[in-house]
């Protein structure tokens, strides 16, 4: 009975985290338990300080029900967003607010056998510096590029492990639950739970970054395929350009549309004398360089707009394939590369006009994520809460 009660408590806390606020009747329906039992557990959680009254729901005629929400400082999640060059770490409360902002540091993953050790040391430092007792941290969620088996805890592309798995290595060092998944899948999870894919049945979330990732929402749930590798959008062989992709194949979508390709073309153009407000893009500072390109495009730099538009058109060709296969309700542009916003939409729509059957594309909208570069951080936190049932206790509140 005690285990069941703990499960009901965790279910209520989990549902309040994702919904923001709910009435007792709504919680009863969500956890599929009777209203008297839900009321009792909710009352206990309020007495213990986990849950607070939010106020009455908006009027729909009749008596307005009380809404309840989590107290923000009851528990914390360590959230990690990795790409091939930069890693960001944040500690989030139960309202997805950052405790002390985002810690960002350079951590190249390719050909770096020390990457996992360096990540773990940084995590330990961030947790120690936060001053939060470990018993108030419910877990660490990590989004990372590459072929990630979330069940086995292995990244087949990056993060070499001396023995065991990535999860086992970090858990042993930090003594906290650890969950990992592919970065694009977690960006899609963030959009599903808190962003543009919320309440959508079918959505394709395109992660524009150093590659072109994809997260799939099908029937209102995150879809990852048989081994968790679904969504390798970058490696659709669309071109006969002979360009070698990092996956070892040639002509992949990534070879014509990633942010790294945009940077390469920008450097080549500047060296060839193209007119631009940008004078130099250092090869050893890719993050700073892409921010420079995007900023210049936002200020009307025609060369940089041209480069982003060309990449957008190419992405649109890939999106046309997705629409033909899956007929989604919405295509969401998210992740690091979503910041150019409307600059992407016109060339992508042009590509759809040229390469997609009108009857199919007419029912699919193209939207820019409002979560943007923060989507992976939020998705990594959501990953921990998605696995909340596996935790054997609800953290105790400090007295």
Structure confidence by residue, pLDDT tens digits, 311-348: 999 999 999 999 999 999 999 999 888 888 788 889 99
Buried b (16+ CB within 10 A) or exposed e, 199-236: ebebbbbbbbbbbbbbbbbeeeebebeeebebbbbbbb
Strands ordered across the beta sheet of 330-334: 221-223, 212-218, 203-208, 330-334, 365-368
By the 8 A CB rule, do 83 and 145 touch?
yes
Specify the 3-state DSSP secondary structure of 250. strand
How is residue 154 written in tokens?
A: 């292995």
Which DSSP state fits 181?
E
By the 8 A CB rule, do 143 and 373 touch?
no
Residue 399 has pLDDT above 50, yes or no: no
Strands ordered across the beta sheet of 22-23: 22-23, 66-70, 51-56
Digit-coded pLDDT (tens) for 38-62: 999 999 999 999 999 988 777 666 6
Residue 126 has pLDDT above 80, yes or no: yes
Digit-coded pLDDT (tens) for 161-176: 988 899 999 999 999 9
Residue 393 has pLDDT above 80, yes or no: no
SS3 content of the chain, % helix, strand, coil (to 5): 45, 20, 35
Digit-coded pLDDT (tens) for 192-206: 999 999 989 999 999
Where residue 304 falls among pLDDT bands split at 50, 70, 90? very high
CB atoms within 10 A of CB 131: 8
On average, the pLDDT of the chain sits at 90
Domains (range + CATH), the chain? 2-70 (1.10.10.10), 76-186+377-390 (3.30.420.40), 196-370 (3.30.420.40)
**Integer Cα distance of 44 and 41 in angstroms:** 5
Which of 24-28, 138-142, 364-368, 392-396 comes out lowest in average pLDDT? 392-396
**Integer Cα distance of 250 and 68 in angstroms:** 54
Question: What is the predicted pLDDT for the residue at 312?
Answer: 94
Specify the 3-state DSSP secondary structure of 98. strand
């Amino acid at each position: 009975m005690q285990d069941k009660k703990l499960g009901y408590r965790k279910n209520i806390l989990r549902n309040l985290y994702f919904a923001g606020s709910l009435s007792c009747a709504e919680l009863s329906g969500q956890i599929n338990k009777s209203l008297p039992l839900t009321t009792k557990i909710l009352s206990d959680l309020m007495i213990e300080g986990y849950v607070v009254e939010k106020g009455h729901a908006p009027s729909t005629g009749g008596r307005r029900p009380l809404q309840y929400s989590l107290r923000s400082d009851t528990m914390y999640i360590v959230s990690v967003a990795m790409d091939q060059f930069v890693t960001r770490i944040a500690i989030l409360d139960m309202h997805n607010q950052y405790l002390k902002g985002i810690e960002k540091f350079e951590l190249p993953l390719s050909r770096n056998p020390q990457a996992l050790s360096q990540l773990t040391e940084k995590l330990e430092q961030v947790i120690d510096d936060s001053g939060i007792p470990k018993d108030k941290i419910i877990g660490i969620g990590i989004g990372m590029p590459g072929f990630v088996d979330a069940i086995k805890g292995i990244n087949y592309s990056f993060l070499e492990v001396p023995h065991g798995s990535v999860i086992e290595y970090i858990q042993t060092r930090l003594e906290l639950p650890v969950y990992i998944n592919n970065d694009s899948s977690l960006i899609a999870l963030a959009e599903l739970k808190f962003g543009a894919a919320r309440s959508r049945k079918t959505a394709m979330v395109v992660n524009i970054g150093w590659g072109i990732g994809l997260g799939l929402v099908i029937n209102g749930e995150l879809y990852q395929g048989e081994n968790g590798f679904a969504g390798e959008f970058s490696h659709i062989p669309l071109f006969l350009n002979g360009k070698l992709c990092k996956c070892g194949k040639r002509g992949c979508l990534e070879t014509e549309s990633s942010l790294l390709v945009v940077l390469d073309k920008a450097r080549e153009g500047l060296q060839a004398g193209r007119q631009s407000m940008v004078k130099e893009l250092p090869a050893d500072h890719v993050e700073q360089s892409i921010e420079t390109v995007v900023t210049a495009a936002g200020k009307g730099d025609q060369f940089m707009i041209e480069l982003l538009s060309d990449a957008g058109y190419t992405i649109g060709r890939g999106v046309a394939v997705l629409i033909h296969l899956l007929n989604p309700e919405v295509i969401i542009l998210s992740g690091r590369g979503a910041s150019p916003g409307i600059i992407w939409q016109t060339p992508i729509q042009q590509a759809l006009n040229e390469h997609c059957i009108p009857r199919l594309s007419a029912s699919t909208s193209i939207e820019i994520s409002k979560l943007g570069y923060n989507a992976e951080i939020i998705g990594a936190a959501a990953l921990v809460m998605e696995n909340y049932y596996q935790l054997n206790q609800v953290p105790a509140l400090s007295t």
